[in-house]
Amino acid sequence: MKISTFAVAWLWVVITGSLLMAQYSQTVGATGTPPVHWPETSLSLRHPGQFKLVMFLHPRCPCSRATLGELEQLVAHCQGKFSAQVWFIQPQGMEDEWVKTDLWHAATSIPGVQVNVDHEGEQARLFQAVTSGQTLLYDSEGGLVFQGGITLGRGHAGDNPGRDAIESLLKQKIPPATSHPVFGCALGWVNNQKDCTACQP
């Protein structure tokens, strides 16, 4: 009887934990309201006639590793069709080295992707990006054509509607969607939050 009771209790713990993790992985972050036209005051340069992708990341968000993996896939599948820039949030009072985590080095290893420090979230504020992993695609004329995330869940790599939509747009096909939920922690520029607390289940 004791063994049976223990087994039931253990099974309940496992099932409850699995359900909580599944719920957490599908918790959607805020997307903000990005400008519908490319902001000319951005430090990120856009070349006329070329698609431009901008992505905002928290340097200590473990969920964002999957986002970088999807970006790497996009670069490989759509080489030469767009330029990409990744901005890593640097909260007020933190040194540049605080930003240069393993995520930073993973981003710099993607061919052709420009990686920058976003001091006090100035660029994220300009583009109204509030969640790590938020990705924006502007077309050759500077119009916003996609916003949101490019993963299927927090830290979940693999095929997903966000990446598919961007790839379709870059290949001049009708996309299945023009937005997709973004999964990640708060970038923290609103309240100068340094820790990636939202990534803790």
State CA 134 to chain mean position distance.
4
Question: In sequence order, what are the residues at sequence separation of 6 or more whose Cβ sits closer than 8 angstroms to the Cβ of residue 123?
Answer: 42, 43, 44, 54, 56, 87, 116
Q: How far, in Å, CA of 36 to CA of 143, rounded?
A: 6
Report the pLDDT value the prediction gives residue 74, as an integer from 0 to 100: 97
Tokens describing residue 55: 């992505």
Percent of the chain exceeding pLDDT 70 equals 77
- Backbone dihedral angles phi then psi of residue 162, each to the nearest 5 degrees: -65, -50
CATH number for domain 29-199, candidates 3.40.30.10, 2.70.98.40, 3.30.465.10, 3.20.20.80? 3.40.30.10
Q: What's this model's pTM, rounded to 2 decimal places?
A: 0.81
Checking if the pLDDT of 25 tops 70, the result is no
Tens of pLDDT, residues 155-190:
557 789 999 999 999 999 998 889 999 988 888 765
| Mean pLDDT, range 63-80, rounded to an integer | 95
Report the pLDDT value the prediction gives residue 197, as an integer from 0 to 100: 47
Q: How far, in Å, CA of 101 to CA of 4, rounded?
A: 47
Domain ranges of the chain: 29-199
Checking if the pLDDT of 5 tops 60, the result is no
Percent of the chain exceeding pLDDT 90 equals 61
| Mean pLDDT, range 53-65, rounded to an integer | 94
Checking if the pLDDT of 75 tops 70, the result is yes
Question: In sequence order, what are the residues at sequence separation of 6 or more whose Cβ sits closer than 8 angstroms to the Cβ of residue 41?
Answer: 126
DSSP 33-73: ---SB--TT-SS---TTSEEEEEEE-TT-TTHHHHHHHHHH
Q: Which residue has the higher pLDDT, 18 or 144?
A: 144
Report the pLDDT value the prediction gives residue 29, as an integer from 0 to 100: 66
Report the pLDDT value the prediction gives residue 17, as an integer from 0 to 100: 34
Report the pLDDT value the prediction gives residue 11, as an integer from 0 to 100: 47
| Mean pLDDT, range 86-103, rounded to an integer | 93
Report the pLDDT value the prediction gives residue 28, as an integer from 0 to 100: 56
Q: How far, in Å, CA of 27 to CA of 153, rounded?
A: 8
